Amino acid sequence: MTKIRPFPYSRVCVFGAARSGVGAMHLLRHHNIEVTLVDERPAMEFRSLIRRLRRSYVTAHFGPIKEDVLRGCQAIVLSPGIPLTHPLVQQAMDRDLPIISEVELASYFACAPIVAITGTNG
């Protein structure tokens, strides 16, 4: 079975470097999409991840978010728990960058129908 629709972006910012953000990063890199990984936590919390990133050709920004972090990005994948009111998300909205949830990201690469259960405890 082939993909339902092609992923339209070649350079994506993944905001949030916890488990789900790193998973999104790996999915994108597996499909040769350039990734900028961003997290506000200090780099020393990501020593192990940073060593792995060197081999995966991912640009990473940890700590205070710089104004130009979205330069060149065509979309932003937002990890759960990051509010739409966050300044980086607002900056993405001001630039008319598409904001993609992880579920939406996965839908581009799924080769089978998707069934979703939503709600507070979904």
Higher per-residue pLDDT: 55 or 86: 86
Res. 65: pLDDT tops 90: no
Please give the domain boundaries of the chain with CATH numbers for all domains. 11-109 (3.40.50.720)
Q: Give 5-47 pLDDT, tens digit per residue.
A: 789 999 999 999 888 898 999 999 999 999 999 998 887 777 7
**In the predicted model, what is the mean pLDDT of residues 56-85?**
90
Dihedral class, residue 113 (left if φ above 0, else alpha if ψ from -120 to 50, else beta)? beta
Q: Given this model, what pLDDT does residue 45 score?
A: 77
pTM, to two decimals? 0.85
- pLDDT tens per residue, range 49-63: 777 777 778 888 888
pLDDT at 27: 94
Long-range Cβ pairs for the range 20-23 (8 Å, 24+): 20/79, 20/80, 20/102, 21/77, 21/79, 22/49, 23/102
Structure confidence at residue 58 (pLDDT): 87
- Identify the pLDDT of residue 71: 92
pLDDT at 68 over 70: yes
pLDDT at residue number 120: 67
